Structure 1
């Protein structure tokens, strides 16, 4: 399917993981020793392998999960004596002891030995050949050590402080994201700060972008609190981590394109005019100086909106006017991302990396946000319990397609546009939202049950496990575009 091919191509570069050197050296030593004893005349084929074999190279079905529903960690322990954990397929090359059967085999090597030998040759030659590990396909597994900060972190806003407002369960804190083909390290604040020393990161988007930034700040608070260096009274703010010369900013841009509010903030629906072919200069004129930029957009596109192109009204969504063409969220979403990526590709001096963090689904059940919907679950879904479908799937497909188009254009200028896929992982976390625990019971708020944002601490902290790994790969792989 076309969609599957697009998804796989977007992930291909940024899911590379180098084969451990120690394992390869050991394997090569054993094989060379065995061959020198049993077959001194055997000659190796030293032709460089074009690509290491990997069972994780094939594209996965984007809308349905096919792996076993059980927790990998527990399944792994059940296969062993239970005395220690194990990691399936962690390196792609299994450790292998020499057995009696090995000693008796003829000089011609087994197929798997040949592959190990090729891998060792590649490593010895200084090759950059790597196997692929998709960070974005996996499941949530128990993590008894979490969380890694408390709800007293200064960066947490009241409506995300679930423990303060009486959430009775804590199991939602005790999970980590486990990709299928590798281990994803838990976020290390020391490593992160060293990696970004002298650099800068900007978050561009809506309140979920702010949620992400706050999680990152709280994880880093175990080492250092930042100093705010902006004097802004709105959502656009900037911080510096002194001693590391690291700067972090957020730019408020829920639509990514130029927008004008039609109704006041007291209006429950808050209607907007969207100029779908015009850059939002609130962020497009400021990101050139940043090393990393993470953009997102999603939930705001369901509000009442008037759509403009070339200065002309071309349609609307949920508008009262009878003589205006009715258009859908998908119409505005596609055009907004096309324009946003066009703005990025038009930047003359930008040398950094753009990450598109994909749409994180909400989890309202038994109604919408304004009709009694709620998210009362206390455990993640297993991967076979939830399917990406409906508007979540459509928005996700639009994002992947627009990123693909933007990458093709950006590649001509050496720009790096990457995928940060949060959609599949967060589809499985209906338990991670504030729900009714983002305010006092007697408070009357616009969003009485919040199934959009994420509790802090909470599942969104895993986004920064992924972010650190993505930054590691970019720093070790800069020449590749």
Structure 2
């Protein structure tokens, strides 16, 4: 890993993944943060002795998007997504990286208007508008086609991993409706199969990855980091009510929003990096 540059590109789960990797690498050498954007969603660390750089680039849709929501996910208007325009926040610096991990998915579930060829072509969950319901799986598939095509056709050939869908483990509701995740141990293999949504998104990823690998000789440097089956078994690995620091400090029985999507550190997410390093080592 000496004299190498890594990038993790995607949403807050990918940022969670990057935080795990920084923690693991910091056992060998202290990471020095050398860059962050205004809200710390994109960051860069340098390991000076090894001349190793790790970046996390915030791009939750991987394509160009106009988003109108705050940090708590409250929207003022529908997201507008340009399905045929990759986000230059990451494509403009892609040529500087030796290793890249890409992942997305969760933001595609939001109410969204879709653009292609400079015109609106449909939406996801917009009943008040006279638009064709295309669905989040349509948009996700189109975006992955764009991403994998870019990777295959770029003259720069880093080793690229696409990390698969990260399931949540909300029970008795969702994040906005009081859902919780109180389990304290993993599921046994075969005990839990996930939600229908999980399998829809996972199938889109597998289908588009297979299409990309079979469609071009230039996609041989594209690999699948398939963490979904392992992650599905770990309902005990989320932060739950500890989404915020010391949530019960002022009131023991305070009603707080649970986070059953992001992962605790240390925790199961560290195994994603064990798999990642093994794949890099065996490449």
User: TM-score, normalized by length of structure 1?
Assistant: 0.54
Aligned to 1:288: 95
Aligned residues: 274
> After superposition, where does 1:123-162 map in structure 2 within 5 Å?
none
State the distance in 2 between where 1:311 and 1:414 align: 29
Post-superposition Cα deviations, 1:361-404, rounded to whole Å, max 9, x if no partner, equal 00111111111111110000001201145111111111011111
Residue 274 of structure 1 contacts residue 305 of structure 1 at CA under 8 Å; is this kept in 2?
A: yes
State the distance in 2 between where 1:459 and 1:358 align: 15
* Alpha-carbon offset, residue 460 of structure 1: 0.5
State the distance in 2 between where 1:298 and 1:389 align: 15
2:65 is aligned with 1:256: no
State the distance in 2 between where 1:227 and 1:282 align: 22
> After superposition, where does 1:84-123 map in structure 2 within 5 Å?
none
Secondary structure at 2:95 match in 1: helix
* Alpha-carbon offset, residue 341 of structure 1: 1.4
Secondary structure at 1:216 match in 2: helix
User: What residue ranges of structure 2 are gaps of 5+ in the alignment?
Assistant: none
Post-superposition Cα deviations, 1:277-326, rounded to whole Å, max 9, x if no partner, equal 11111101211221110000111111111111111111112225331112
Aligned to 1:311: 118
Aligned to 1:339: 146
State the distance in 2 between where 1:248 and 1:222 align: 15
Residue 151 of structure 2 contacts residue 219 of structure 2 at CA under 8 Å; is this kept in 1?
A: no
Aligned to 1:463: 272
2:241 is aligned with 1:436: yes
* Alpha-carbon offset, residue 264 of structure 1: 5.2
* Alpha-carbon offset, residue 265 of structure 1: 5.1
Post-superposition Cα deviations, 1:418-449, rounded to whole Å, max 9, x if no partner, equal 01001000000011111112221369xxx811
2:19 is aligned with 1:214: yes
Aligned to 2:178: 372
Secondary structure at 1:469 match in 2: helix
2:30 is aligned with 1:225: yes
Residue 97 of structure 2 contacts residue 158 of structure 2 at CA under 8 Å; is this kept in 1?
A: yes
2:172 is aligned with 1:363: no
Secondary structure at 2:64 match in 1: strand
Secondary structure at 2:24 match in 1: helix
State the distance in 2 between where 1:409 and 1:354 align: 16
Aligned to 1:9: none
Residue 36 of structure 2 contacts residue 42 of structure 2 at CA under 8 Å; is this kept in 1?
A: no
State the distance in 2 between where 1:338 and 1:344 align: 10
State the distance in 2 between where 1:352 and 1:307 align: 30
Aligned to 1:451: 260
- Give the strand-richer structure, 1 or 2: 2
User: What residue ranges of structure 1 are gaps of 5+ in the alignment?
Assistant: 1-195, 475-481
User: TM-score, normalized by length of structure 2?
Assistant: 0.91
Aligned to 1:326: 133
Distance of aligned partners of 1:231 and 1:251 in 2 relative to their CA distance in 1, 3 Å threshold: closer
Residue 170 of structure 2 contacts residue 180 of structure 2 at CA under 8 Å; is this kept in 1?
A: yes
> After superposition, where does 1:20-99 map in structure 2 within 5 Å?
none
Aligned to 1:407: 213
> After superposition, where does 1:197-208 map in structure 2 within 5 Å?
197-208=2-13
Which one has the largest radius of gyration? 1
* Alpha-carbon offset, residue 327 of structure 1: 2.2
Flag as ranges the 4+ runs of structure 1 deviating above 3 A: 262-267
Secondary structure at 2:13 match in 1: helix
Residue 374 of structure 1 contacts residue 449 of structure 1 at CA under 8 Å; is this kept in 2?
A: yes
